[in-house]
Amino acid sequence: NVRSYKLWKNYPSRVTIDAENNGWYENMNDLQGTNGIFFIGEMLSQLSVHSVIDWLDKKLPQFVDIMQN
């Protein structure tokens, strides 16, 4: 039996179709490294551990290059 629950308004995290069509992912990618700030997580890499690791494998070298320059 469920005793209580919490409904998270914005979970699961997702980008709306309109935002995606208007370049949300491209805009976020362009922001990567600005002022030494990098964005990671499910909004950028989807919801599975495999996809997070895959995304980091692709993006981490970019972060390291930016931080070393």
Residue 40: predicted pLDDT? 76
Contact, 44 vs 28, CB < 8 A?
yes
Tell me what pLDDT residue 51 has.
67
pLDDT at 67 over 80: no
Helical spans, DSSP H, in 22-69: 24-31, 42-45, 49-68
The answer to whether the CB of 38 falls within 8 A of the CB of 32 is yes
Distances (CA, A) of 28 to 10, 38, 41: 18, 9, 12
pLDDT digits (tens, 9 = 90+) for 12-52: 567 778 888 898 888 988 998 888 888 877 777 656 566 67
pLDDT greater at residue 37 or residue 3 = 37
CA angle 26, 24, 7 (to 5 degrees): 140
pLDDT for residue 11: 60
